[in-house]
Amino acid sequence: MRWKNRRRSQNIDDRRGQRRAGGKVGLGGLLVAVAAGYFFGIDPAMVITLLEGQSTVSTSAPAAPTERSEFVSVILADTEDVWADLAPKAGIRYQDPTLVMFTGSTPTQCGQGQSAMGPFYCSLDQSVYIDLGFFDTLARQLGAPGDFAQAYVIAHEVGHHVQNLQGTLGKVRQAKQRLSSSEGNALQVAVELQADCYAGLWAKVANDRYQMLDGDDLAEAMLAAHKIGDDTLAKNAGRAVVPESFTHGSSEQRKAWFLRGFQVGTVESCNTFSG
């Protein structure tokens, strides 16, 4: 993926080097968080609440810029430029999100964020949170290496920000209060698949502008989408595949909606709530 020598975002809150200790989160709690929202979390407030606790701050020297942190900043800048153009055409008043890089855990307006949750978006402070060590997990444990797979992660979370500005996330939260568990899960799947489609849409527009994709990049994103499908995660964990319990969508759904955004290239094409 060709990304160097491009604009870097100014909307980065770099908290790497700030560590928190003192919480009472055990291994069981972390596993619950991983299962519920390990990748592109369900509702961050719901997952984070499981991990909240009193904590003290231990600070160290700010982390130096790395190639990985610079990559994240470039991808975030790309999403800013793309959505600044796309959003008004779709009737969305766009505001850039903040991306918070942290180590271990960090406070958010949705509660206490933890690395074990994977990347997540908090609608209350309009911020994307990520421990950059997650990219190692993505490559080594989930089996989805590559820089474009990492870009897909960031673009998906920014997709949730777009949904928040649209009012979609608030409507879904309200609707889920009236629905059964399986119905609420189905609605959440639609949220996640739309964010996948928005990630594909970003990739198309950004690639048209910068010709950033190499030959294998699209395959990297497709592999990442496959690896984090609910059915694939369940199989790899030795659990039964129960579609009614899905909260993010099957591997085939996730690949299909990312590809739809990439191929069709319009906000309207990403309406997963119709039909």
Determine the pLDDT at residue 243.
92
Higher pLDDT, 30 or 172: 172
Average pLDDT of the chain is 88
**Mean pLDDT of the 77-86 span:** 97
Nearest to 15, CA basis, from 105, 133, 128, 119: 105
How many angstroms separate the CA atoms of 195 and 192, rounded? 5
Q: With beta carbons less than 8 A apart as the criterion, state whether 157 and 120 touch.
A: yes
Q: With beta carbons less than 8 A apart as the criterion, state whether 164 and 97 touch.
A: no
3-state SS, residue 18: strand
3-state SS, residue 121: strand
Determine the pLDDT at residue 44.
46
pLDDT-derived band of residue 37, with 50, 70 and 90 as boundaries? Answer: low
pLDDT-derived band of residue 29, with 50, 70 and 90 as boundaries? Answer: very low
DSSP 94: -
Determine the pLDDT at residue 61.
62
As beta bridge partners, residue 18 has 59
Determine the pLDDT at residue 63.
79
How many angstroms separate the CA atoms of 197 and 267, rounded? 9
Distance of CA 196 to the CA centre of its chain: 9
**pLDDT tens-digit readout, 96-142:** 999 999 999 999 999 999 999 999 999 999 999 999 999 999 999 99
Determine the pLDDT at residue 40.
45
- Start-end of H helices in the chain: 27-37, 44-51, 67-89, 134-140, 147-166, 168-176, 181-210, 217-227, 230-236, 251-264
Query: Residue 90: is its pLDDT beyond 80?
Result: yes
As beta bridge partners, residue 111 has 108
Query: Residue 32: is its pLDDT beyond 50?
Result: no
**pLDDT tens-digit readout, 145-201:** 999 999 999 999 999 999 999 999 999 999 999 999 999 999 999 999 999 999 999
Higher pLDDT, 18 or 77: 77
3-state SS, residue 83: helix
Residue 53 is encoded by which pair of tokens? 């606790």
Determine the pLDDT at residue 48.
47
Determine the pLDDT at residue 17.
82
3-state SS, residue 116: helix
Determine the pLDDT at residue 28.
42
Task: Give the DSSP letter string of 240-269.
Answer: ---GGG-SS--HHHHHHHHHHHHHH--SGG
Query: Residue 52: is its pLDDT beyond 90?
Result: no
Query: Residue 51: is its pLDDT beyond 80?
Result: no
pLDDT-derived band of residue 59, with 50, 70 and 90 as boundaries? Answer: low
**Mean pLDDT of the 39-66 span:** 54
As beta bridge partners, residue 121 has 128
How many angstroms separate the CA atoms of 185 and 85, rounded? 32
Determine the pLDDT at residue 20.
55
Query: Residue 24: is its pLDDT beyond 90?
Result: no
Query: Residue 47: is its pLDDT beyond 60?
Result: no
**Mean pLDDT of the 222-250 span:** 95
